[in-house]
A and B are shown apart, each in its own frame.
Chain A
């Protein structure tokens, strides 16, 4: 069952590259079918997880300290649902968006490889296969960023590739050191092994290496320089995936998994998370104010929202973790919605400069409406999803006595509102630019994907109500259980 999350996208990727010339539009069909099946599987994994708590699949029947295993628990199934939902909708969107590019099948094949990598990162139960899947996803992301082969794309992709490979080198060094210390690669085994050994300088050094590596991947503020370039140069569906789920699975999920469940969390690391989170929030929001390019603004706002999530992880109380995960889901939904909107604007007008556009609401009613919902949700206007998660994070911060940080979070939320209002007023309201009189609304499938995402971002606040709350709480429970994770997995095997 868990294995299918990796084999289906891989199989789809190779099928696409095998039959690309024989039958036209086959790649669209295969890719959409594969993502749809994956989405269904991820939904069914919720049910399975709620029954069994932890599912462990042993590859080749070897027992975990020796063999490789795939682990599905509450957190993993939460991430799987997020990833596969977004990638399914983005795939629908890209049916007609990617028509502008040549070699569409290459896009689909690479996309599938990236999806397989992300699912693998979520599910893998030992550190080295986590590294492998991470590299698989990253390499296809480097190529996808350069997909347009314009000079800007190439430059951004090169920057991203250099930063990304430095990050993976740090991660591999950390894995090597950890292996030399505990002489095992299995996550559960490492976490129970570290409990019995004194935590020396080495573990601290490894923690710093992982923080630098995964921080680079998730674009926390001192390491954020690649993100705005890469995300704004990529084709819009790709930037929706990159910004919506890629940096979260590779960065936030891996950080949370490693620090909470393997190395064990301490006050120092929590404080570090909080400081990094607040820094990312403030710097991202301030830089986003100054941008003129829609996608660049969205990319900086991604940094700022990632800051919220890391801040919530840093507070570390159950309520804060709940808020952080909810915000992760929300941000995945509305940020990919906004990137798809930006793609739609570019598709129909050919420009993404804020100063060029204006009054598009009459011409692009659906794009305008959905992007209004997305913007308001990200800025935290009450009935929408983004409000609830931000509220929970801020309440949790106040409860633990970090009133200064909570104040900053509220302030950043207001700044967010300001720059999204600016985005709305420049693009959709005001006087229509004469050049865009003949602009038409985007094709049906693109509308469909955007409307779906907007609907989800309206109702995602409902995740806090009873029928869905178990789902979120099983995910936070995993993070809270800390280093007991190791025992839990070995318990599940026996």
Chain B
């Protein structure tokens, strides 16, 4: 499942010409990765890793990947904001979202 999503996202990045679609591709890949990280830490019938006041939890899922995912979501947010603001500016200057037409740099 994750790898299917991952490949869809990669296809989207590599094959599409529209800037916005490329950004969507990156988002898909990121989410595939987050899902993958969560699944690494999952155990069958596991519970949320919260230490509660009055009960002992024996079968916890691994909390570390969840911490990693929450961090990588934030990073993803930052990257997406940067990319989208770049895309808006590019549209302003070039008047198009098509990367085959944005070719002022060569060589």
- Report A's interface with B, CB cutoff 8 A: 128, 132, 135, 139, 142-143, 146, 149-152, 154-158, 161-162, 165-166, 168-169, 172-173, 176, 179-180, 185, 228-229, 233, 287, 290-291, 296
Contact = CB atoms under 8 A, between A and B. Distances in A.
Contacts of A185: 64
B79 A173 contact: no
Contact of B105 (A156, A165, A169): A156
Contacts of A139: 75, 78-79, 82
Contacts of A165: 26, 79, 83
Interface in B67-82: 68, 71-72, 75, 78-79, 82
B30 A158 contact: no
Contact of A155 (B65, B71, B82, B105): B105
Contact of A158 (B6, B29, B72, B90): B90
B33 A173 contact: yes
A479 B99 CA distance: 42
A148 B19 CA distance: 21
Nearest to A138: B79
Contacts of A229: 105
A156 B13 CA distance: 17
B22 interface: yes
B57 interface: no
Nearest to B75: A135
A165 B33 CA distance: 13
B89 A154 contact: yes
Nearest to A158: B86
Contacts of B104: 151-152, 155
Nearest to A134: B75
A481 to B, nearest CB: 28
B8 interface: no
A152 B86 CA distance: 12
Contact of A154 (B37, B78, B79, B90): B90
A132 B105 contact: no
B72 A155 contact: no
B82 A142 contact: yes
Contacts of B75: 132, 135, 139, 168
Contact of B22 (A162, A176, A233, A287): A162
Given A142-B82, A165-B26, A158 B19 contact: yes
Contact of A157 (B22, B37, B86): B86
Nearest to B83: A161
Contacts of A154: 86, 89-90, 93
Interface core residue of B22, B29, B93, B107 (most chain A CB under 10 Å): B107
Interface residues of B, number: 31
Given A132-B71, A152-B105, A146 B13 contact: no
A149 B90 CA distance: 9
Contacts of A172: 33, 37, 72
A165 B79 CA distance: 8
A143 B105 contact: no
27 contacts: A128-B68, A135-B75, A135-B78, A135-B79, A139-B75, A139-B79, A146-B89, A149-B89, A154-B89, A154-B90, A155-B90, A155-B105, A158-B83, A161-B79, A161-B82, A166-B26, A168-B75, A169-B29, A176-B40, A176-B65, A176-B68, A179-B65, A180-B40, A228-B107, A229-B105, A233-B105, A287-B107
Contacts of A132: 71, 75
Nearest to B104: A152
Contacts of A156: 105
Nearest to A146: B86
B33 A179 contact: no
Interface in B26-71: 26, 29-30, 33, 36-37, 40, 64-65, 68, 71
A274 to B, nearest CB: 27
A149 B72 CA distance: 28
B107 A173 contact: no
Given A161-B83, A179-B40, A155 B102 contact: yes
B94 interface: yes
Given A157-B86, A179-B40, 7 more contacts: A135-B79, A146-B86, A149-B89, A151-B90, A154-B90, A165-B26, A179-B64
Contacts of B24: none
Contacts of A157: 86
B87 interface: yes
A165 to B, nearest CB: 5
B94 A151 contact: yes
Contacts of A143: 82
B90 A169 contact: no
Interface core residue of B22, B36, B94, B105 (most chain A CB under 10 Å): B105
Given A132-B75, A158-B87, A162-B26, A296 B107 contact: yes
Contacts of A287: 107
A161 B29 contact: no
Contacts of A169: 26, 29-30, 33
B36 A176 contact: yes
